[in-house]
Amino acid sequence: MPLQTGLSFRFTHAITRTPADSVANGLRAVDSGDPSGPAFRLEHERYVSALQEAGLEVTVLPALEGYPDSCFVEDPAFCLPDAAIVLRPGTQSRRGEAEEIRAALEDRFDVIIDLPEGGFVDGGDVLMLDDEILIGLSARTDRRGAEDFKAILNALGYEARVCETPDGVLHFKTACSTLGDGAILATRVMAESGFFDGRKVVVVPDGEDYAANVIRVNDVVLVPEGYPKTDVAIREAGFRTVIVPTHEARKVDGGLSCLSLRFAAAEPKA
């Protein structure tokens, strides 16, 4: 597709969801203690403020106790300027989150497309760049889901590529992020994967892999608190950073991108 400068980082709106107390039962690969609902909600307020300060109008949806991981709204949907796609999360306990996010999307988008029955895609596996969209196969996103999603993107006029997420990485975007302006932030493993050949890649310094998940929002890059070497690397690459705490999210494998759906929309739907 033609380069659409800013497609991956110029946004006007975000949708988030308040963490529930049940986030203590959230999914995680390695147990490092349960997140606390109240502490997570305080961090979440800081996150919402950072998005607002970056220029976004933020919708904060109410907590859903029935879905422990539901504050990670990036996974059940994907937003483009002209359409939203309701996905199908690849893990059973999160599947109902897709219906729960639909009303918030309907408030904003004229075009809502459902991933066809059969396959699974988590939004955390979708990396939007300004000239193509990468879809990572993972334990959550299967080949059928990725190919069906790619077909939807192609029909909307976007180029998409299906990639194999390296082993041991939860989501494709757990290990890389768009920095915008033609640059990508990636762990060493992801940087050496070949997916980003020909692009500028800022490699996450050793020992800070968690910080590969950042979000560029308009003129700033939000970086998780506690990863000073990554912060320096991003700033040395020419970006302005804002540090945001994600200590509670991290306990359940969550990061900055997972906590919002970000999109560019000129006006709310009439």
Does 243 engage in binding with ligand CIR (CB under 6 A)? Answer: no
Residue 72, helix vs strand vs coil: coil
Interface with ligand CIR, residue 262, by CB under 6 A: no
CB of 80 to ligand CIR, least distance (A): 17
Distances 144 to 84, 87, 159 between C-alpha atoms, Å: 19, 12, 17
141 vs 193, which CB is nearer to ligand CIR? 141
Under the binding rule (CB under 6 A), the answer on residue 254 touching ligand CIR is yes
CB-wise, 112 or 139, nearer to ligand CIR? 139
Stretch that binds ligand CIR, among 1-9, 42-50, 113-121, 250-258 (CB under 6 A): 250-258
Burial class (CB in 10 A: 0-12, 13-18, 19+), 118: exposed
| 253 lies in the site for ligand CIR, by CB under 6 A | yes
User: Is 23 within 8 Å of 212 (Cβ atoms)?
Assistant: no
- CA–CA separation, 124 and 174 (whole Å): 7
Note whether 76 binds ligand CIR by CB under 6 A.
no
Written as one string, the DSSP assignment of 116-153 is PTT--B-GGGEEE-SS-EEEEE-SSS-HHHHHHHHHHH
For residues 132 and 161, is the Cβ–Cβ distance under 8 A? yes
Annotation says 13 is catalytic: no
By CB under 6 A, tell whether 26 contacts ligand CIR. yes
- Please report which helix (H) or strand (E) contains residue 228, including its range: helix 228-236
E-strand ranges in 49-142 read: 57-61, 77-79, 84-86, 112-114, 126-128, 133-137
The active-site residue out of 79, 163, 171, 176 is: 171
Decide whether 94 or 108 has the Cβ nearer to ligand CIR. Answer: 94
Binding pattern for the stretch 184-223 against ligand CIR, x by CB under 6 A and - elsewhere: ----------------------------------------
Is there binding between residue 75 and ligand CIR (CB under 6 A)? yes
* 171 flagged as catalytic: yes
Q: Which is catalytic among the residues 71, 79, 176, 258?
A: 258
Catalytic (active-site) positions: 171, 258
Q: Which residues bind ligand CIR (CB under 6 A)?
A: 26-28, 69, 72, 74-75, 94, 124, 171, 174, 252-255, 257-258
